[in-house]
């Protein structure tokens, strides 16, 4: 699939005439086979090792082909990922001697929904999808049921389930000490304010949802957050930098390297250490 995707991208470059005009064109390519194989076999598997070698070769061939089609000095490449991943829980437990849990909140969720049904609140108004508790506040209002107290009671019950590290009410995250509480900070950054999510569940490190044996991601722990950030092209200095950077730093850094002004507020900041323009004057 990655091979087909990259062939399609090269065909798109030619069909759209990208890189032929005076302006800056953007070609965005998503290679998703690593995600599918990683989930199925885990990050420690021979299968994902094979996949990474293959995608490395494919990217090399893609870049070589792109350089034949266009002037390489006018091409800037940014490579990153959308998330990290946990090892398969059983393998991690066997390797480290750590206790892990396959977590289900079906019991407290079912009990809460049965009680709500007796008071006229439909099941769809109170649902759990992964770590997120979605609510329909209008349904609670119509049934004259206090939403906050129901959410708080469910959170208390969920905290008692083995494998659950914490349950945060979204309303409380707004006043959390996000400078000191990394988990709260990551949830705040992850949740758009207009989503009807009342609570978020954080599992203990390396514990997973459900009974399946697969590799999972989506938590607020460090292993789920590390992704590569690679920049290549004329604006950038070769080197490896050990500073903490974020994916949102890519947009302002690319804009600065290309001499494009940003408008309005941006989440990230320019990675000056990676820009040639930031090098000390050799004179």
> Are 198 and 247 members of one domain?
no
Beta bridge partners, 229, equal 80
How far from the centroid of its chain's Cα atoms is residue 56's Cα?
22
pLDDT, tens digit, 9 for 90 and up, residues 11-28: 999 999 999 988 899 999
How crowded is residue 277: how many other Cβ atoms within 10 Å of its Cβ?
Answer: 12
CATH of the domain at 144: 3.30.1360.150
> What's the chain's length in residues?
283
pLDDT of 283 > 80? The answer is no
Which of 158, 189, 209 is where one domain is finished?
209
What gap in Å lies between CA 117 and CA 258, rounded to an integer? 58
Q: Are residues 85 and 132 in the same domain?
A: no
Q: What percent of the chain has pLDDT over 90?
A: 79
Mean pLDDT of 52-71: 96
Say if residue 189 is in the same domain as residue 113.
Answer: yes
Residue 215 lies in a domain: no
For residue 64, give both structure tokens.
């070589």
Q: In the predicted model, what is the mean pLDDT of the chain?
A: 92
Number of domains in the chain: 2
Which pLDDT belongs to residue 274?
92
Same domain, 193 and 158: yes
Per-residue pLDDT at 77 exceeds 50: yes
Task: Measure the CA–CA gap between 50 and 153, rounded to whole angstroms.
Answer: 47
Q: Please state, in angstroms and rounded to a whole number, the distance separating the CA atoms of residues 201 and 165.
A: 8
Tell me which of 186, 209, 232 is where a domain ends: 209
Are 226 and 184 part of one and the same domain? no
Residue that is last in its domain, among 164, 185, 209: 209
Element (DSSP H or E) covering residue 170: helix 170-173
- Write down the pTM of the prediction: 0.83
Q: Are 246 and 167 in the same domain? A: no
User: Residue 83 is part of which domain span?
Assistant: 2-92+221-278
Structure confidence at residue 22 (pLDDT): 87
């Amino acid at each position: 699939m990655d091979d087909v995707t990259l062939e399609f991208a090269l065909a798109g470059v030619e069909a759209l005439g990208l890189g032929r005009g005076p302006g800056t064109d953007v070609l965005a390519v998503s290679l998703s086979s690593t995600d599918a194989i990683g989930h199925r076999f885990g990050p420690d598997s021979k299968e994902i090792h094979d996949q990474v070698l293959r995608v490395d070769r494919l990217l090399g061939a893609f870049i070589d082909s792109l350089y034949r089609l266009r002037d390489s000095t006018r091409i800037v490449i940014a490579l990153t990922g959308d998330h990290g991943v946990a090892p398969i829980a059983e393998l991690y437990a066997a390797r480290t001697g750590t206790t892990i849990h396959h977590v289900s909140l079906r019991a407290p969720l079912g009990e809460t929904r049965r009680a709500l049904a007796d008071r006229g609140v439909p099941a769809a108004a109170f649902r759990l999808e992964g770590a997120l508790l979605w609510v329909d506040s209008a349904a609670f209002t119509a049934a004259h049921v206090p939403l906050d107290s129901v959410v708080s009671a469910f959170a208390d019950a969920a905290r008692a389930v083995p494998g659950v590290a914490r349950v945060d009410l979204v309303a409380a995250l707004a006043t959390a000490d996000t400078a000191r509480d990394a988990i709260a900070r990551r949830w705040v950054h992850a949740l758009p304010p207009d989503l009807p999510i009342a609570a978020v569940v954080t599992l203990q490190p390396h514990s997973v949802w459900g009974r399946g044996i697969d590799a999972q991601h989506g938590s607020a722990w460090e292993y789920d957050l590390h992704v590569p950030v690679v920049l290549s092209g004329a604006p950038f200095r070769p080197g490896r930098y050990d500073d903490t950077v974020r994916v949102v730093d890519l947009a302002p850094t690319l804009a600065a390297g290309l001499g494009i002004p940003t408008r309005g507020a941006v989440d990230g900041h320019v990675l000056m250490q990676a820009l040639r323009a930031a090098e000390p004057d050799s004179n």
